[in-house]
């Protein structure tokens, strides 16, 4: 954890001045997202998306390995008068999972850990939304970075959500205005189906 923390702290120290605005994908689909309740931003850095969600009215937990990034997020939230809506947690997501209530919205942007990503989705409350975004292997046609281990295969995000028994609300793959080839999804957790007397329960996935 210490090596990763220092590496990301160094990157965030280099990023002076104004922080980035929220993801264009989030802004475009704002009408689909809740404006009340709890949200979790996984590996959200300095909070570009977490702060946007907090300003919309959500109580947001921002998790990242970089304490420098989280300090930036705290300062920005305080300056905007939304400090009470933003909680920051310094966590190594490769080894830990935030212990918290279930969330109405979970964001996983530009962070890929296939071994643990089901755990993030499991933190969704009934009919909660998962929003995930990651560059794909096609991005290597124009850019050497991110490297292959940090890229998803085409269709992978949608297949992942479907395998969890989730409903796909939005699915998009392609080149963005920023010249990155990205996959992005919004998926809804389905409420458990009622179990009839004598029924042993569903067997087709963890969310049904």
For residue 186, CA distances in Å to 87, 107, 173 come to 23, 9, 12
For residue 4, CA distances in Å to 50, 66, 94, 120, 198 come to 22, 8, 10, 20, 51
The model's pTM is 0.85
Angle between helices 67-80 and 48-56 (to 10 degrees): 30
Mean pLDDT of each 10-residue bin along the chain, 208 residues long: 59 64 94 96 93 96 91 93 95 74 93 91 93 97 94 97 96 95 96 49 34
> What is the dotted CATH code of the domain comprising 2-12+21-188?
3.40.50.150
Q: Is 204 exposed, middle or buried (0-12, 13-18, 19+ CB in 10 A)?
A: exposed
pLDDT score at 21: 85
């Amino acid at each position: 954890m210490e090596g990763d923390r220092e590496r990301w702290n160094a990157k965030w120290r280099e990023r002076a001045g104004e922080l980035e605005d929220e993801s264009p994908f989030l802004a475009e689909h704002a009408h689909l997202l809740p404006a009340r309740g709890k949200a979790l931003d996984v590996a959200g850095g300095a909070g570009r998306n977490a702060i946007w969600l907090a300003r919309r009215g959500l109580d947001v937990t921002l998790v990242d390995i970089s304490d420098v990034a989280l300090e930036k997020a705290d300062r920005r939230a305080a300056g905007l008068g939304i400090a009470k809506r933003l909680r920051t947690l310094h966590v190594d997501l490769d080894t830990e999972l935030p212990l918290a209530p279930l969330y109405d919205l979970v964001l996983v942007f530009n962070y890929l850990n296939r071994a643990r990503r089901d755990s993030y989705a499991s933190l969704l409350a009934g009919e909660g939304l998962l929003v995930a975004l990651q560059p794909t292997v096609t991005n290597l046609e124009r850019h050497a970075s991110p490297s292959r281990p940090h890229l998803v295969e085409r269709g992978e995000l949608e297949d992942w959500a479907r395998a969890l028994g989730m409903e796909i609300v939005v699915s998009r793959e392609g080149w963005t205005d920023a010249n990155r080839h990205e996959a992005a999804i919004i998926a809804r957790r389905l409420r458990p189906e009622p179990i009839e007397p004598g029924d042993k329960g569903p067997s087709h996935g963890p969310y049904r």
